[in-house]
Structure 1
């Protein structure tokens, strides 16, 4: 029996978006057969990417 790789708890992912392995999260999204969990992984991926972009754009000297 294959063991599923368990991602970090959601509260840890939301606490520091820079500590999340985006590739791991994307692979969980791709490999998830259940629609509800797949949507959750997609939403988490989008949220984390948005938070990273927000952090970068809020840095001093950042020009958009």
Structure 2
């Protein structure tokens, strides 16, 4: 099952339903596809974290 073309995931990580992406990863039986969905989930999550950390008003 293909959720969204990869170039759309790369363009704007906030448009991705990350919960659906994780559920697809968790329910995938094919190991190659499971690894792909895991990588996409990790990429989208990292991009979101990167965007949050780059906000000028973000303080740790």
**TM-score, reference length from structure 2:** 0.91
RMSD: 1.1
Question: Which 4+ stretches in 1 moved above 2 angstroms?
Answer: none
Q: Which runs of 5+ in 1 are unaligned?
A: none
Structure showing greater Rg: 1
**TM-score, reference length from structure 1:** 0.86
Q: Which runs of 5+ in 2 are unaligned?
A: none
- Structure number with the higher helix fraction is 2
Which one scores higher on RCO, CA 8 angstroms, separation ≥ 6?
2
| 1:32 is the counterpart of 2:9 | no
